Amino acid sequence: MTAEEPLLRNEAGSARDRDPAEPLESMVLEQAIAVNVRHHRTVSGLSVADMAERIGISKAMLSKIENAQTSCSLATLQRLATALDVPVTSLLRGADAEREAVYTAAGTGPRIARHGTKSGHEYELLGALRGQHKRLESLMVTLTEDSQSYPLFQHPGTEFIHMMEGRMSYGHGRETYVLGPGDSLQFDGEGAHGPVELTELPIRFLSVIAFPDSTI
């Protein structure tokens, strides 16, 4: 992704300002309606202007509904459902669904052994999500003076690493990247990758791997 490309979270999602006094629970229903209205309108091939005219509200109001920026009255909800030729309940779908999150307090992540783990290489699991979120694993990797070997990894999916401390040269395929605090690298996990030279120890970096649906 280049700096000019739009973020998918902006293109496919929504954002809104929230009064600090407004409880998060009150936003769940608005968010569900926003997602469902936008989905059904798009599937029906209707523009925002066409949809707004069909139900008799302004484009600005429909835009606010689709971006979860306003509460939708029951009367308006019924008009939306009628215009989209769907039951009202379909516009509420997902409002009561549990959305998974994983919280790991500082220092409490289990230490794990990765294939290729050697002395001086420590991997702390910060969290993992599976199922409809595909499979996402986050690790805090620490390399110390005891790190005398440099394993190369290959795996399905995409990996993102962000340097927290130290300096190293990191290889991916035929390329080598010099990484220091604040530097990031995102790459195809199928390419052989791993530390090539540990320049300044200790080294700590965050590693996030997004595995594809087909990964078991």
Q: What values do phi and psi take at 164, rounded to 5?
A: -105, -35
Task: Please give the share of the chain, as a percent, with pLDDT higher than 70.
Answer: 77
Q: What values do phi and psi take at 202, rounded to 5?
A: -75, 160
- The yes-or-no verdict on residue 38 having pLDDT over 80 is yes
How much of the chain is helix, strand and coil, in % rounded to 5? 25, 30, 45
Cα 139 from Cα 113, distance rounded (Å):
11
- The yes-or-no verdict on residue 53 having pLDDT over 70 is yes
**Domains with residue ranges and CATH for the chain:** 8-91 (1.10.260.40), 111-211 (2.60.120.10)
Beta bridge partners of 195: 170
pLDDT at res. 178: 95
pLDDT at res. 73: 85
pLDDT greater at residue 51 or residue 15: 51
Cα 86 from Cα 64, distance rounded (Å):
20
Cα 109 from Cα 167, distance rounded (Å):
24
pLDDT at res. 30: 81
The contacts of residue 146 (CB under 8 Å, 6+ apart) are 119, 120
Q: Please state, rounded to an integer, the average pLDDT across all residues of the chain.
A: 82
Query: pLDDT class for 115, splitting at 50, 70, 90?
Result: low
Beta bridge partners of 167: 200
- The yes-or-no verdict on residue 145 having pLDDT over 90 is no
pLDDT at res. 12: 60
The runs of H, that is alpha helices, within the chain are 8-11, 25-43, 48-55, 59-66, 74-84
pLDDT at res. 182: 93
CB distance 92 to 36 below 8 Å: yes
pLDDT at res. 34: 86
Q: What values do phi and psi take at 115, rounded to 5?
A: -60, 125
Q: What number is the average pLDDT over the span 77-96? A: 87
The amino acid at residue 165 is E
Q: What number is the average pLDDT over the span 24-48? A: 83
- The yes-or-no verdict on residue 103 having pLDDT over 70 is no
pLDDT at res. 9: 62
CB distance 91 to 77 below 8 Å: yes
